[in-house]
Structure 1
Amino acid sequence: MEHTDAPQSERPIYTAPRTEIAQEQGRFRTYFNFPGRMVPGHDDHGYGPLATVVESFMDPGTLIRMHQHRNEEIISWVPEGVMRHDDREGNELVTDPEHLLVMNAGRGFWHAEETHGSDPPLRMLQCFVRPHSLDLDPKLQHEPISEPTQNAWRHLFGPEGSDAPLGVRNDIHCYDARLDADTSVTLPTRPGWHTYCYVFDGSTEVGDEAVGETESALVTADEAATVTAAEDSVVVAFDINPDAPVTRQGTIGR
């Protein structure tokens, strides 16, 4: 956790080490990153529409039985391996590096997750977004995503109705980037919005702050920060409207 008492106006970049908030369930393990806890005095574990980013591990031959989510948008990002989804609507889907899954749970959506015994060990991110309103219609999006371009941001999802490939029901955009060592990119941002980034692999500097694997940075400055890779790295970035109206009744994210 960031150890500083400086007010936000004097500390535009906050950093946090790998979270210690974890659930160990044998073959299924989750680590909860709460961006709001990075800011001293912030009264919310989430940050605007972004409730939490969960690093999830599933061993081969793991089944997460059918369960319900309500009033949250769950995005499954799988950079390697496969995550198998089925639900009460009859969908049987495989999410992998070529596909993104967005479950807009709304007033209720039941699903299960699985890896087969022949699948590789799975490490992925599941991102929980707070919708702007309660009890929206549930729906599911499972779409191919573009091939990543090295040393550039790839747009993954954004507000419903925007030009993003997949949509969520609040003001947040998400991107990923695969960076070669000693290359830099500018974090995506919009006027008045803030950017949270998570280093999935590798080691980086965000502005002047060192941010390594499984560590996070939150940029609240008006000007965009630069991400520089100290070694080959994979980074996921969330551009967030911190003043967006949010609901806080999600099954997990809240």
Structure 2
Amino acid sequence: MLRKLDNKNMGRSDLGWLKSIFHFSFSNYYNKDNMNFGVLRVLNDDLVKTNTGFEMHPHKDMEIVSYVVDGELTHGDSMGNKNTITRGHVQYMSAGTGVYHSEHNLGENTSRFLQIWIIPNEKGLTPNYGDYRFQWEDRKNKWLQIVSSTEGNAPIKIYQDANIYVLELEKNKEIDFKVREGRQAYLVQIEGISEINEIELKDRDALEVVEEDILIKARETSHVLVIEMKKGN
């Protein structure tokens, strides 16, 4: 099963310093029929103006992954961590029993990043933070796994049966992705235009995939992210 999600129909917010596209119900956007996709609870495509950001605020019982598309993202938290990541880099936070954090753009240009929340497989975990500076070329025309479960082999591990992959596919090239029985995936066309099983996706569109293999053909150089997980509502 494949279902295209046009970004024009997604939730939106414009606070001046922050412009967001909400793939699922979040903040001022509420749709009781669009709360999650399996264990994927939040996917926000955020644009943050320079010298602004999210001030210190709390989270609890959520696996939070941030993937930077452009610019800089500086993280700080109540555990004493402070780090800045840039394009193609990833930070992860297991909120667990509770943690406060802030996210700021201290760079010269607008920052764009994907904010991903995944429901953990248990509550009350010990809070944890990590970041990883992946090399851009490691995702060129091939899948780069950036996140896995704690039993997996990715550099970043989360407390859920879910995997995250990224890819930059050059124009006119193609690559497949297998979604086996009992599994599903949420694909985000971050940049460019691609054709997936004859469905066209433009930048910021998404695709739900359930128990079906897909073939991605890049009409333009395409930057893609896939969250693969166990099948669920």
What TM-score, normalized to structure 1? 0.83
State the secondary structure of the residue aligned to 2:36.
coil
1:156 has 2:146 as partner: yes
Match of 2:189 in 1: 199
Answer yes or no: is 1:227 the counterpart of 2:216: yes
Whether the aligned pair in 2 keeps the contact of 1:188 and 1:237 (CA below 8 Å) is no
Residue of structure 2 in register with 1:8 after alignment:
none
Gaps of 5+ in 1: 1-11, 36-41, 245-254
Of 159, 174, 179, the match for 1:184: 174
Quote how far apart the aligned CAs of 1:44 are.
5.7
> Could you tell me which residue of structure 1 aligns to residue 124 of structure 2?
135
Counterpart position of 2:77: 87
- Partner Cα distance (1:214, 1:223) in 2: 22
Ranges in structure 2 where 5+ consecutive residues have no aligned partner: 26-31
Residue aligning to 1:14? 3
Give the direction of change, closer, same or farther, for the CA distance of 1:68–1:188 in structure 2 (3 Å limit): farther
CA distance 1:63–1:13, change in 2 (3 Å)? closer
**Identity value in percent:** 22
Aligned to 1:208: 198
Residue correspondence of structure 1 range 44-83 to structure 2 within 5 A:
45-83=35-73
Distance 1:135 1:51, change over 3 A: same
- The number of residue pairs the alignment matches comes to 225
**Alignment partner of 1:170 is 2:160:** yes
- 1:33 lines up with 2:51 in the alignment: no
Distance 2:42 2:88 in 1: 23
What is residue 29 of structure 2 aligned with on the other side?
none
Which of the numbers 96, 99, 113 marks the counterpart of 1:106?
Answer: 96
Quote how far apart the aligned CAs of 1:102 are: 0.4
Using the alignment, how far apart are the partners of 1:137 and 1:190 within structure 2?
32
- Structure having the higher strand fraction is 2
The one-letter code sitting in structure 2 at the alignment partner of 1:157 is: V
State how far apart, in whole Å, the 2-side matches of 1:55 and 1:236 are: 12
